Amino acid sequence: MKTLLVGRWQPFHKGHLELVKAEAGKGDVIIAICSANRSHSLTNLFTAGERYEMITGALDEGGVGAEIVTIPDTGNHALWVELVRRTCPKFERVVSGNEFVRYLFSERGFEVGEPKFFEKEKYNGTKIRKLMADGGNWKEMVPKGVAKVVERVGRDRLRLAQRDSFSKNE
Amino acid sequence: MKTLLVGRWQPFHKGHLELVKAEAGKGDVIIAICSANRSHSLTNLFTAGERYEMITGALDEGGVGAEIVTIPDTGNHALWVELVRRTCPKFERVVSGNEFVRYLFSERGFEVGEPKFFEKEKYNGTKIRKLMADGGNWKEMVPKGVAKVVERVGRDRLRLAQRDSFSKNE
Amino acid sequence: MKTLLVGRWQPFHKGHLELVKAEAGKGDVIIAICSANRSHSLTNLFTAGERYEMITGALDEGGVGAEIVTIPDTGNHALWVELVRRTCPKFERVVSGNEFVRYLFSERGFEVGEPKFFEKEKYNGTKIRKLMADGGNWKEMVPKGVAKVVERVGRDRLRLAQRDSFSKNE
Amino acid sequence: MKTLLVGRWQPFHKGHLELVKAEAGKGDVIIAICSANRSHSLTNLFTAGERYEMITGALDEGGVGAEIVTIPDTGNHALWVELVRRTCPKFERVVSGNEFVRYLFSERGFEVGEPKFFEKEKYNGTKIRKLMADGGNWKEMVPKGVAKVVERVGRDRLRLAQRDSFSKNE
Amino acid sequence: MKTLLVGRWQPFHKGHLELVKAEAGKGDVIIAICSANRSHSLTNLFTAGERYEMITGALDEGGVGAEIVTIPDTGNHALWVELVRRTCPKFERVVSGNEFVRYLFSERGFEVGEPKFFEKEKYNGTKIRKLMADGGNWKEMVPKGVAKVVERVGRDRLRLAQRDSFSKNE
Amino acid sequence: MKTLLVGRWQPFHKGHLELVKAEAGKGDVIIAICSANRSHSLTNLFTAGERYEMITGALDEGGVGAEIVTIPDTGNHALWVELVRRTCPKFERVVSGNEFVRYLFSERGFEVGEPKFFEKEKYNGTKIRKLMADGGNWKEMVPKGVAKVVERVGRDRLRLAQRDSFSKNE
CA distance D31 to chain A (A): 20
Q: How close are the terminal C-alpha atoms of chain F, in Å?
A: 37
pLDDT digits (tens, 9 = 90+) for B126-150: 899 999 999 999 999 999 999 999 9
pLDDT over threshold 60, residue C169: no
pLDDT digits (tens, 9 = 90+) for A39-92: 998 889 999 999 999 999 999 999 999 999 999 999 999 999 999 999 999 999
Residues in chain B: 170
Alpha-carbon distance of B54 to B148, in angstroms, equals: 8
Cβ pair D32, D84 in contact under 8 A: yes
Instruction: For strands A67-70 and A93-95, give the pairing.
Output: unpaired
Instruction: For strands F28-33 and E93-95, give the pairing.
Output: unpaired
Q: How far is CA A117 from CA A94, A114, A127, in A?
A: 15, 9, 15
Q: What is the largest CA-CA distance in chain D?
A: 45
Cβ pair A1, A94 in contact under 8 A: no
Interface of A with F in 44-63 (CB under 8 A): 47-49, 52-53, 56
Whether residue A33 lies within 8 A of chain F, CB to CB, comes out as no
- Domains annotated on chain F, with CATH: 2-167 (3.40.50.620)
Buried b (16+ CB within 10 A) or exposed e, A90-116: ebebbbbbbbbbbbbbebeebebeebe
Alpha-carbon distance of C47 to B88, in angstroms, equals: 9
Cβ pair D4, D95 in contact under 8 A: yes
Alpha-carbon distance of E154 to C6, in angstroms, equals: 49
Nearest to E69 among D70, D86, D90 (CB): D70
pLDDT digits (tens, 9 = 90+) for B58-112: 999 999 999 999 999 999 999 999 999 999 999 999 999 998 999 999 999 999 9
Interface of C with B in 130-159 (CB under 8 A): 152
Where residue C159 falls among pLDDT bands split at 50, 70, 90?
confident
> What mean pLDDT do residues C124-148 have?
94
Q: Give the torsion sign (CA, B46, B49, B50, B54).
A: positive
Closest residue by Cα to residue A80 from A97, A101, A61, A59:
A101
pLDDT digits (tens, 9 = 90+) for C40-66: 988 899 999 999 999 999 999 999 999
Instruction: For strands E2-7 and E28-33, give the pairing.
Output: parallel
pLDDT at E118: 80
Q: Which of B114-128, C86-100, C104-118, F58-72 is the least confident region?
A: B114-128
Cα angle E98-E101-E102, degrees, rounded to a multiple of 5: 90
Which residue of E82, E83, E88 is the best one to mutate when testing the B interface, meaning the one whose CB has the most B CBs within 10 A?
E82
pLDDT at C24: 96
Give the neighbor-by-neighbor strand order of the sheet with C28-33: C67-70, C28-33, C2-7, C93-95, C111-113
What is the pTM for the complete model shown? 0.95
Cβ pair C6, C95 in contact under 8 A: yes
pLDDT at F147: 98
Cβ pair A72, A37 in contact under 8 A: yes
pLDDT digits (tens, 9 = 90+) for B24-51: 999 999 999 999 999 998 889 999 999 9
Alpha-carbon distance of A80 to A158, in angstroms, equals: 30
Complex-level ipTM: 0.94
Q: How far is CA B102 from CA A98, B16, B109, C44, D157, in A?
A: 38, 18, 11, 31, 12
Cβ pair A65, A59 in contact under 8 A: yes
Residue-wise DSSP of B47-68 = -HHHHHHHHHHHHHHHT---EE
pLDDT digits (tens, 9 = 90+) for B14-26: 999 999 999 999 9
Q: DSSP secondary-structure letter at D90? A: P
Per-residue pLDDT of chain F (170 residues; tens, 9 = 90+): 999 999 999 999 999 999 999 999 999 999 999 999 999 988 899 999 999 999 999 999 999 999 999 999 999 999 999 999 999 999 999 999 998 999 999 999 999 999 988 888 889 998 999 999 999 999 999 999 999 999 999 988 987 676 544 434 43
pLDDT digits (tens, 9 = 90+) for F26-41: 999 999 999 999 999 8
**Residues of chain E found within 8 Å of residue F106, distances taken between Cβ atoms:** 156
Chains F and B touch (3+ CB pairs under 8 A): no
3-class secondary-structure state, position C97:
coil
Closest residue by Cα to residue A47 from F91, D103, B169, F89:
F89
pLDDT over threshold 90, residue A170: no
pLDDT at D47: 97
pLDDT over threshold 50, residue D168: no
pLDDT at D166: 42
Check CB contact under 8 Å for B79 and E83. Answer: yes
Residue-wise DSSP of B86-143 = HHSPP-SEEE-S-HHHHHHHHHTT-EEE----TTTTTS-HHHHHHHHHHT---GGGS-
The phi and psi torsions of F163 (rounded to 5 degrees) equal -95, 150
Helix ranges (DSSP H) in F88-153: 99-107, 125-134, 144-153
Q: How far is CA A82 from CA A32, A86, A91, C135, D25, in A?
A: 14, 6, 12, 46, 55
Check CB contact under 8 Å for F78 and D79. Answer: no
